[in-house]
Amino acid sequence: MLTKNQIKHYSSLLSKKYRLQEKKFIVEGIKLVEEALISEYSCEIIIAVKEFAEEDQNLLKRLDKRKITTEIVKSTDFEKLSDTKNPQGIIGVFHFKQQCSSDFKHEKLIVALENISDPGNLGTILRNCDWFGIKNVLLSPDCAEIYNPKVIRASAGSVFHLDIYEEKDLYNVLVELKKNGFVILCADLNGENLYSFSRSSKTILVLANEANGPTEKLLQSCDSKITIPRIGKAESLNVASASAVILSEITKAINKN
């Protein structure tokens, strides 16, 4: 049985401050917990309410075989650990994955994100990247935190399938990648028509904050700008929606080559 102090400790992980301090985060819901368990992330503990444990005893048996610590708690305690309105009755506490280094030599397409501050947008973009086979995503420091529960939910588990690099200086990283033959392609309202654009063989697609657009510093690093041509009267597209359209077109070109 978990003590009050343990409940307090794990519930503190709902706050970014303590996630960064402890280098641990909460995953909530059966689908997301199962995705995390088969990923490279290390699980510290699974916590469930009695009702869930009785309904899904097979999962608990699998956890026991893997020697993963499991605790059953009262609903009142579980509510302190939950970030959702209608909790499913199970959470997992996982450790941050150590960020590995990569030179991306064999990659044809990388996605970079500048100031995608909305957790829902970030999570959806990560889900789109996963769908279209993108393996590596670079984030500027002002992006939402990937371990934010809203990001994890919006990604539908895709956050566990990708290599995500939180870069302290994204612009310098882009400059270095250009030296290795990558072309920096920025999505912008004033860019070239996506459907007539001729893509390079090694591309970094950069998506920026939808309200402010790409910063001047980012534009200085870019080789080309592209846009989705507007037909109707909408002022702009949501950045997550735009990412799906652009990735669909770019990956189609890659698969043809």
pLDDT of residue 96: 96
pLDDT of residue 255: 65
- How large is the average pLDDT for residues 128-148? 96
* Percent of the chain clearing pLDDT 70 (strictly above): 98
Does the pTM surpass 0.85? The reply is yes
pLDDT of residue 20: 96
pLDDT at 91 over 70: yes
Give the confidence band of 198 by pLDDT, cuts at 50, 70, 90.
confident
DSSP characters for the chain?
---HHHHHHHHGGGSHHHHHHHTEEEEESHHHHHHHHTSSPPEEEEEEEHHHHHH-HHHHHHHHHTT--EEEE-HHHHHHH--SSS--SEEEEEEPPPPPP---TT-SEEEEEE----HHHHHHHHHHHHHTT--EEEE-TTSPPTTSHHHHHHHTTGGGTSEEEE-S-HHHHHHHHHHTTPEEEEEEEEEEETTT----SSEEEEEE-TTT-S-HHHHHH-SEEEEPPP-SS-S---HHHHHHHHHHHHHHHHHH-
pLDDT at 99 over 80: no
- How large is the average pLDDT for residues 167-188? 93
pLDDT at 256 over 70: no
* Ordered structural domains, the chain, with CATH: 4-95 (3.30.1330.30), 109-256 (3.40.1280.10)
- How large is the average pLDDT for residues 56-82? 88
